[in-house]
Amino acid sequence: MKLVLVFMLAAIPIYCYASSSGCHAMDDVIAQTINSSVSVTEYQGVVKSYAPLPYDRKAVAKLKQCFLDQSEDTLNNVKVMVNAIYNSKDCPQSA
């Protein structure tokens, strides 16, 4: 199950890199992952094109539930971390 999560998380940036829309899709998935008002079912709808298989959907549900189990402070810290990664010198972004 952990391996499926790793592959799913690795596939999102690859999908974004290959798409013409930049990283909008990845930004949306990350925002929905961190958002505590998004239920597991709603989240599965957001990522259904990235996780079409039944074991993928189960992994996605577990991933979202992990974030739902966190406090708002922890979720805010994840947002800070994501922004720090995006704004780092090792993460080039195209305009």
In tens, the pLDDT along 56-95 reads 889 999 999 999 999 999 999 988 888 777 776 766 655 4
pLDDT at position 3 is 67
Asked whether residue 8 is assigned to any structural domain, the reply reads: yes
Asked whether residue 25 is assigned to any structural domain, the reply reads: yes
Asked whether residue 80 is assigned to any structural domain, the reply reads: yes
Global pTM reads 0.67
Asked whether residue 92 is assigned to any structural domain, the reply reads: no
pLDDT at position 73 is 94
For residue 25, name the pLDDT band (cuts at 50, 70, 90).
Answer: confident
| Structural tokens at position 8 | 């799913």
Q: Rounded to whole angstroms, how far apart are CA atoms 57 and 86?
A: 27
| Structural tokens at position 48 | 């259904």
Q: What is the count of structural domains for the chain?
A: 1
Asked whether residue 91 is assigned to any structural domain, the reply reads: no
Reported as type and span, the H/E element at residue 76 is: helix 72-86
The boundaries of the domain holding residue 33 are 2-86
